[in-house]
């Protein structure tokens, strides 16, 4: 080990003395959900400002040459997410300082194969003795857009891992093509932990699992027989009590409304007796209401010619009056004829 270190130190010292820059070290690709970066470490035993140049070449088409991806880089990484997800590339990088530069250090890159599928977003809800699991993603980010990563692959499944928290961690799993699943047949009032990951059978790829989410199950939703009997008895008691109560309440309301809107009234007894007795005087009812009755008064004329004839005039006036009264009486008698005589 010490001999190897001495050899490496000697070679680096020889390169620095001869003016040749050492190459970047540990060149690698870091790619998650098709967000890809070419990364490296700076060369050793070199002082001064260093910049880097990165180039790429597609090997899908023979004869392609390298093209510059980025030049004059000061950082030790380069974003290569713009490359086609279905391509096959060779990436290379070299270090540069003033008029010197190192040799190229290269690495191959297949985005669809080399990228790491990240964990999906997971939500868990406990309901009626089951666990409802919903999950989305992961997504591929390109600039300001986000696309579901499953659109890039021909096949895509989700694998749900679950186990009891306080048990021996016997892990069960379910594979599904949907974005939700219901975990049933679980023990009630038990704490379960869940993880979800993506699986791509066609590419033989398995994504990173999500963080552990633990949720306690509730009652399994099966109602015991004793509870059903109790509910039925309670319902019958409610019916037995409520029906008479409703009846008497309705009767009371009916009587109250009748008393308010239709009050009872007794006709006075003295008015009944008065109305039931027929009138005795003839001034109220006439046997012949259609006949006219005429009333007369005594008219006395006093002459101013001679006081000597007053007695004669009075006697004549009284006779005239008596005569007129007798004639009126005869006229009234002649006009009033009984119905029997008319017949």
Q: Say if 204 falls within a structural domain.
A: yes
99 and 44 in a common domain = yes
61 and 86 in a common domain = yes
Q: Which of 11, 40, 41 is nearest to 28 (CA)?
A: 40
Q: Say if 65 falls within a structural domain.
A: yes
128 and 110 in a common domain = no
When divided into structural domains, the chain yields a total of 2
156 and 76 in a common domain = no
Strand partners, 196: 160
Q: Which of 56, 52, 1 is nearest to 22 (CA)?
A: 52
Q: Which of 42, 44, 62, 65 is nearest to 52 (CA)?
A: 42
Radius of gyration of the chain (CA): 62
196's enclosing H/E stretch is: strand 191-200
Continuous H helices in the chain = 2-18, 111-114, 225-261, 269-276, 310-335, 339-342
Total count of residues recorded for the chain: 343
Q: Say if 316 falls within a structural domain.
A: no
128 and 43 in a common domain = no
Q: Which of 195, 207, 110 is nearest to 150 (CA)?
A: 207
Question: Where is the domain boundary, 70, 89, 114?
Answer: 114
Both structure tokens of 300: 């006395």
Q: Say if 168 falls within a structural domain.
A: yes
- 189 contacts: CB under 8 Å, gap ≥ 6: 216, 217, 218, 219
Q: Say if 264 falls within a structural domain.
A: no
Q: Which of 141, 83, 91 is nearest to 112 (CA)?
A: 83
**Domain residues for 195?**
121-216
Q: DSSP letter string over 39-99?
A: EEEPPSS--S--EEEEEEEESSSTT---EEEEEEE-SSEEE-TTS-TT--EEEEEEEEETT
109 and 37 in a common domain = yes
Question: Where is the domain boundary, 187, 216, 245?
Answer: 216
Q: Say if 248 falls within a structural domain.
A: no
Using the Cα atoms of residue 316, residue 321, residue 327 and residue 329 in order, give the sign of their dihedral: negative
Token pair 């599928």 is at which residue?
A: 117
Q: What is the pLDDT tens value at each position of the chain, 343 positions in all?
A: 444 445 444 444 444 444 578 999 999 999 999 999 999 999 986 667 899 999 999 988 777 899 999 999 999 999 999 999 999 999 999 999 888 899 999 999 999 999 999 999 999 999 888 999 999 999 998 767 788 898 888 889 999 999 998 877 789 999 999 999 999 889 888 999 999 999 999 899 999 999 999 999 987 655 555 556 777 787 777 777 877 777 778 877 777 776 666 666 565 677 667 777 766 554 444 445 444 555 556 666 565 555 555 555 555 555 555 554 555 554 444 444 444 444 3
User: In whole angstroms, what is the distance from residue 200 CA to residue 151 CA?
Assistant: 12
User: In whole angstroms, what is the distance from residue 82 CA to residue 282 CA?
Assistant: 128
Q: Which of 178, 162, 167 is nearest to 126 (CA)?
A: 162
Look up the CATH number of the domain holding residue 187.
2.60.40.10
Identify whether the C-beta of residue 88 lies closer than 8 Å to the C-beta of residue 59. Answer: yes
210 and 130 in a common domain = yes
């Amino acid at each position: 080990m010490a001999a190897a270190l001495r050899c490496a130190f000697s070679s680096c010292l020889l390169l620095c003395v001869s003016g040749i820059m050492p190459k970047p070290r540990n060149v690698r690709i870091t790619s998650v959900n098709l967000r890809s970066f070419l990364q490296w470490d700076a060369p050793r035993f070199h002082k001064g400002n260093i910049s880097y140049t990165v180039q790429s070449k597609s090997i899908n088409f023979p004869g392609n040459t390298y093209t510059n991806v980025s030049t004059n880089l000061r950082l030790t990484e380069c974003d290569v997410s713009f490359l086609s997800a279905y391509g096959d590339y060779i990436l290379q990088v070299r270090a540069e300082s003033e008029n010197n530069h190192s040799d190229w250090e290269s690495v191959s890159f297949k985005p669809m194969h080399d990228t790491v599928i990240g964990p999906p977003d997971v939500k868990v809800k406990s309901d009626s003795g089951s666990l409802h699991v919903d999950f989305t993603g992961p997504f591929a980010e390109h600039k300001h857009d986000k696309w579901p990563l499953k659109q890039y692959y021909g096949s895509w499944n989700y694998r749900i891992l679950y186990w009891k928290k306080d048990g021996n961690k016997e892990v069960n799993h379910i594979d599904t093509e949907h974005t939700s699943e219901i975990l049933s047949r679980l023990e009630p009032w038990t704490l379960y932990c869940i993880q979800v990951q993506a699986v791509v059978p066609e590419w033989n790829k398995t994504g990173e699992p999500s963080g552990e989410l633990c949720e306690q199950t509730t009652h399994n939703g099966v109602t015991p027989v004793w509870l059903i009997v109790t509910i039925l008895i309670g319902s019958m008691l409610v019916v037995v009590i409520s029906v008479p109560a409703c009846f008497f309440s309705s009767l009371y309301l009916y009587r109250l409304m009748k008393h308010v809107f239709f009050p009872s009234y007794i006709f006075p007894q003295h008015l009944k007796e008065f109305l039931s007795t027929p009138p005795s005087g003839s001034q109220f009812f006439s046997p012949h209401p259609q006949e006219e009755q005429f009333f007369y008064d005594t008219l006395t004329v006093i002459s101013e010619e001679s006081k000597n004839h007053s007695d004669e005039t009075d006697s004549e006036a009284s006779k005239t009056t008596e005569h007129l009264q007798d004639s009126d009486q005869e006229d009234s008698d002649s006009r009033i004829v009984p119905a029997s005589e008319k017949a």
